[in-house]
Amino acid sequence: MPLSSQRVVLDTNILVRGLLNPLSDSGRILRACEDRRVLVLVSRELLSEYRFVLHDPSLVDLYPALDPFRVKIVLDRLMYVGERVQTIRTRFNFSRDKKDEKLITLAIAGSASDLVTTDRDLLDLPHNGGITGRRFRQRLANIAVLKPDQFVARHGRLLGIVRTN
């Protein structure tokens, strides 16, 4: 059982950054999820994206830290400690970036408190004045869409996420 009430959806870019640099804010957030200080929400679709990106040969060639064995351990651990949202009947049309729809629908279906990303489209969404932004705020009124450093600044002390730099 997690030590906090934080229910977090991690964008794939956070996993990549966390694996590449465990001492970064993304790495600390990933460790907090693995240690059950934060409840990470996962779905079949998101796990498939994680695997696809983290096993991409061009990325692995560029970053040897994305060793397939290490990636498998981290993904297995997230599936074990996370809450897997089995059936997502919720839909959210995000025409600006269709690939991000799976993150938003998971956040809705899993009642996420936070979505952590470095994706500008997602970071701008809660402040968007258009119909998509209004629909997002209606469906996810209490969610915070944060960059890793913002998540650590907001929740780090409570979650034991300590910066060493």
What pLDDT does 28 receive?
A: 95
What pLDDT does 108 receive?
A: 85
Burial class (CB in 10 A: 0-12, 13-18, 19+), 113: buried
Q: Which helix (DSSP H) or strand (DSSP E) does residue 136 occupy? A: helix 131-139
Both tokens of 60, joined, read 């692995």
Domain boundaries, the chain: 7-154
What pLDDT does 1 receive?
A: 44
Give the three-state DSSP class for 115. strand
What pLDDT does 159 receive?
A: 81
Instruction: Spell out the per-residue pLDDT of the chain, length 165, in tens.
Output: 445 689 999 999 999 999 999 999 999 999 999 999 999 999 999 999 999 999 999 999 999 999 999 999 999 999 999 999 876 666 655 555 557 778 888 988 888 999 999 988 888 776 776 776 677 677 666 888 899 999 999 998 888 887 765
The CATH class, in words, for 7-154 is: alpha beta
What pLDDT does 90 receive?
A: 61
